[in-house]
Amino acid sequence: MKEATIKPIAHVLSDFKEKFGIPRQSGRAPSVLSTIVFEPEFRDKNALLGIEGFSHIWVIFDFSLAHKEGFSPTVRPPRLGGNQRVGVFASRSPFRPNNLGLSSGKLVRVEEQEGLGSVLIVSGLDLLDGTPIYDIKPYLPFTDCHVDAVGGYADEKKDYKLKVQYLDDIDKLLPPDLIPALTECLADDPRPSYQEDGREYGMRFADFNVKFKVEDNTLIVFDISKCE
């Protein structure tokens, strides 16, 4: 079989500056806004004609920090506690033969930005800042939405959420527009599934370091500081 070569058409600008803390699936943090910036070769507004008629888009991207040599036929999904193995093609794991990911998001608007041309503002994407994008396609509700679909082992955790509490009103240290997005990410529980309550964690979101712990299904944010 002939090998194919693909190259990025765009990249993402987002508030996710590290892997830890990114929602495990798209749509879990709908208040998170990302910007899709096209590479100069593809920075032609004609390529976006008609896209504003669609409410959502599919984004095919590169798990750029998950590249490794060799092929592993099984992976350990975090939501199964990190101990149970399933087939790589029965998972959304980033450790795949071609490291391709699929994310869906709501198209908020097409925007002209100086020096960048037409960019896409999209909500709900689960993509690291700088992620390369290989393709964009419109989401078609009459064919892409399967109301009778079954989610396998993932269905066990689909409604799982933590309550989020900010101690001493420290959420006021954040710009108001960041609070809903951060809260949604934290409610999705960024911890490894095998960790027990009480341990302290830190994650970077936008230009802030956020420290938290979990007790009795409540995630408690106890420190927020500006990144140096």
Residue boundaries of the structural domains of the chain? 10-64+99-140, 153-226
What is the SS3 assignment for 34? strand
Lowest-confidence segment of 12-16, 21-25, 34-38 by average pLDDT: 21-25
User: pLDDT over 90 for what percent of the chain?
Assistant: 77
Q: pLDDT by residue (tens digit) across 17-33?
A: 999 999 989 999 999 99
CB count within 10 Å of CB 35 equals 19
**In this structure, which topology does domain 10-64+99-140 adopt according to CATH?**
Elongation Factor Tu (Ef-tu); domain 3 (2.40.30)
Q: pLDDT by residue (tens digit) across 150-172?
A: 998 888 778 889 999 999 999 99
Instruction: Report CA-CA distances (Å) from 222 to 73, 173, 217.
Output: 40, 12, 16
User: pLDDT over 70 for what percent of the chain?
Assistant: 98
Residue 80 has pLDDT above 80, yes or no: no
Cα separation of 10 and 162, whole Å? Answer: 34
Dmax (CA) of the chain: 61
Residue 187 has what pLDDT?
96
Mean pLDDT, the chain, whole residue set = 92
Residue 112 has pLDDT above 80, yes or no: yes
Integer-rounded Cα radius of gyration of the chain: 19
Burial class of 62 by CB neighbour count within 10 A (0 to 12, 13 to 18, 19+): buried
Cα separation of 227 and 207, whole Å? Answer: 5
CB count within 10 Å of CB 4 equals 5
Under CATH, which number does the domain 153-226 receive? 3.30.2310.20
Burial class of 193 by CB neighbour count within 10 A (0 to 12, 13 to 18, 19+): middle
Q: Is the dihedral of CA 61, 62, 64, 68 positive or negative?
A: positive
